[in-house]
Structure 1
């Protein structure tokens, strides 16, 4: 008796065996056969086309990189969906961590530093911010420091740097963007004490 489900499973197992030994053609067949369903599953959670496409790409990159382990896989569909689920969860964890991190940075100046833990956090943040500022072009760094450290107005900075207020504004916009990007990229290399607590609260 014809059993399409069994036939599909047999085809999947054959493709898995071929990918396991590095057959790129078999990998491409699996990709074209499954990527639409994986995309739809991811999209149902992230609700963002760009993010979904990026996560689907990561799914198949991980699938290929783990190809030597495929001999133990019993269901291609389940295996791909598990990878997609885990990567999607990691994505949401990262977004939550980044949101909490930047909320912490934004509110940092609104309360005094009292405890030892808070003092350690302030020191680590100051070091990270200083490193970020060192990456800026000289004029962006100077504009940043004059406005944020010396509390000068745009007009005062323009006179001091002999540039227009519009140029001051542009330097600050570019500088803030670069500093934010630097801080974001170093979230996981310098983890402060309260940040560890935040992670524990969200993900235990």
Structure 2
């Protein structure tokens, strides 16, 4: 049992600013679970909730020297979580609108003469990025997205749990989104 769990938040923040990793760990242990639960209630996705809280704590660690908390630490963390969730939702809406606009563009036959070439180039880039995924992750991803197997079918075929299959697909999509995000916006225009 750590002596840090007896410290109040203000003391922990002071120690954190002095590079004290155990103070940071105590803050994380004290607040991370409840922040994840609150994020999950809004997002309905455990992985996204975990990611948001991890980003908040990473930001706190990276900005520990200039951290300026005027109210309570709990209020600061709840507000940071709320803001990250709102940014995440806004980003998802932008991505969704963008995908819808592309779908509408394609459905309405406003396809440019060189669209086939760009489509082939984009497919080649995506195929290359998929090939760079770790072997097991790539295998699960292809079974789900190309062969359109259910998570249960993938689990049975690869002798893994359906949760593992879901996590592998989620992780691969996250990696692919990151790698292709900037490229696709430049590529489309």
- Same fold, TM exceeding 0.5? yes
Higher relative contact order (CA 8 A, sep 6+): 1
Q: Give me the CA root mean square deviation.
A: 3.9
After the TM superposition, list the runs of 4 or more consecutive aligned residues in structure 1 that deviate by more than 3 angstroms.
122-129, 181-192
Structure 1 contact 15–27 (Cα < 8 Å) conserved: yes
Unaligned runs of 5+ in 2: 132-142, 148-168
State how far apart, in whole Å, the 2-side matches of 1:125 and 1:42 are: 41
SS at 1:54 equivalent: helix
Unaligned runs of 5+ in 1: 1-7, 141-169, 196-204
Q: Which moved more, 1:182-191 or 1:43-52?
A: 182-191
* Shift, 1:185, TM fit: 4.6
* Shift, 1:136, TM fit: 2.7
2:69 to 42, 55, 73: 73
Task: Count how many residue pairs are aligned between Structure 1 and Structure 2.
Answer: 144
| TM-score where L is the length of structure 1 | 0.55
Larger Rg: 1
| TM-score where L is the length of structure 2 | 0.59
Within the alignment, does 1:19 sit opposite 2:11 as a pair?
no
**1:151-166 aligned within 5 A:** none
2:99 corresponds to which residue?
102
State how far apart, in whole Å, the 2-side matches of 1:136 and 1:190 are: 14
* Shift, 1:51, TM fit: 1.6
SS at 1:22 equivalent: coil
User: For residues 188 and 88 of structure 1, do their structure 2 counterparts lie closer, same or farther at Cα, with a shift above 3 Å needed?
Assistant: farther
Structure 1 contact 132–182 (Cα < 8 Å) conserved: no
